[in-house]
Structure 1
Amino acid sequence: MNKKLVKYIVLIVVAGLLVYNSVYFKKLDAPTSGVENNNTDPAAFARSFWNGAFSKAIDSATTIEVFEKEFFEKGAAITISKYSHSQGVSNIADVLLKFSGRVKEITEDKIVLTVANSRTNSYVFNMGNYFGNGVRDATGLIKMGDFINTMDYNMVSTELNKIVKKDVVLAVKNKIKAGDDLIVVGCVEIKEGKLEDEILPVKITINN
């Protein structure tokens, strides 16, 4: 084997080692956040968020009366920007709102609440299965960029929805009847400047 060939082989090996090490160190130095930053999985992250930051957000939710007043007096764009949150460039936003009213109708999948002092006669709350991202997105505290991959980001939403179903919906579903007075905090989806018809309850208090 001539010296020139040996020199080329050595250069190739060295270059390969440099590439390998650069990739290795890049992985070590890559910023981590969200689920991985908390050394946990999506289910644990969701539970921690629910018990902590989201619980505080529920307690400070804006009433529907205040939201409606500003919505009609100051305009949809200003009000939505003030109270709601969205992910990236999107025409869909989510907001936490508080409703006080009387149960007009209850079925397996929904509660219809007549809300006092509201410009809308009644609101519908989902008591069945929910597949949206309202719980994850309504506070604006969880960002897509906090996660290394979109799978974990989406799984957090799924896990939060499971918590709502178990801890909120199923906990009171069989206790509510027509005529009951309720206080409900819900995630409301706003699409193209309009509140969607069905709301996800994240806290239900029976005031009988």
Structure 2
Amino acid sequence: MGARANPDPLAVSPSNPAPSFPWARLAGFTLAGGALLWFFPLWRVVPLVAPAPAAAAAFSPAESAMRFWTETLPPARVRAVDAAVLASALRRDPAEAARLHARAVGLGTAYFHVRGRGRVVAVERNVIVLALDGADGATFALKTGAIFGNVVRDGPGLLDMNSFPSLADFNAVSAELNRLVEERVLPDLRRLATMGARIEFVGCAEATDPAPGGPLLTLIPVFVEAHPAR
């Protein structure tokens, strides 16, 4: 028999499988490593600023104003300054009256929170004028027109800006309180405040010097109760 030829080392046979190349082995390691890093990453991205609390995101100026209107404001009526007492103080010295009876808010702004009774002596386009009980002819006016500004919010001295998520929310509550006055107080006041009617009121006003010959103070009413003239 002739000599047997040496087998080809690269030939594929059951006893000599296909050789394993380095690039195939590297691809396998890469896929395995990628899967491992997917489930067990070396680092995570963490936001530097924590997300806002859910409560702040859900803040509702309308709901906050309604809670203040129905729960906080009514019990505070008893702490409002008596209108006759304030009228007497305003007649003597408006600056001293503000020092004694107003609440300062910011620089140079102060508000009165007032309760009293009086008789309607004038009905004008945007105000009614009351002759105050127990004040010897002194008059206050109650606004009946559109309400603007922060008098209702700041007048009672019961709301703190720092208790709200932002200044924008605090101002939005002010607008909602003005709307409540326009919807819940002014319609009845305009309808019932006829000449001679008696009005019980609680209201707020900015502390300013009285206009010569006019009412000592013009209030935004937050509560009124009217009794027809007899």
Q: Shared fold (TM-score greater than 0.5)?
A: yes
Give the TM-score of the pair, scaled to structure 2.
0.67
**In the alignment, what sits opposite 2:98?**
80
User: Which structure shows the bigger proportion of residues in helix conformation?
Assistant: 1
The answer on 1:66 being equivalent to 2:85 is yes
Task: Find the partner of 1:161 among 163, 174, 178.
Answer: 178
Give the TM-score of the pair, scaled to structure 1.
0.73
Hey, which bits of structure 1, 4+ residues long, moved more than 6 A? 72-75
Q: How many residues align?
A: 182
> What's the CA shift for 1:90?
1.8
| Residue pair 1:84, 1:139 contacting (<8 A) in 2 also | no
Q: 1:83 to 1:118 in 2, by over 3 A?
A: same
SS at match of 2:68: helix
**Structure 2: where are the runs of 5+ without partners?**
1-41, 211-215
**Structure 1: where are the runs of 5+ without partners?**
1-12
Q: Which has the higher contact order (CA 8 A, sep 6+)?
A: 1
| Residue pair 1:124, 1:199 contacting (<8 A) in 2 also | yes
Q: Structure 1 residues 104-113 or 66-75, which shifts more?
A: 66-75
How high is the sequence identity, in percent, across the aligned residues?
A: 24
> What's the CA shift for 1:178?
0.6
Map 1:1-208 onto structure 2 (within 5 A).
17=45, 20-24=46-50, 27=51, 36=56, 39-69=58-88, 76-77=95-96, 79-87=97-105, 89-118=106-135, 121-191=138-208, 194=209, 197-208=217-228
SS at match of 2:195: coil
The AA in structure 1 aligned to 2:56 is: E
| Residue pair 2:117, 2:198 contacting (<8 A) in 1 also | yes
Q: For each residue in 1:12-37, what CA deviation from the matched residue of structure 2 results, as whole angstroms up to 9, or x when unmatched?
A: x97x94xx43322xx45x7x9xx839
Q: 1:74 to 1:171 in 2, by over 3 A?
A: closer
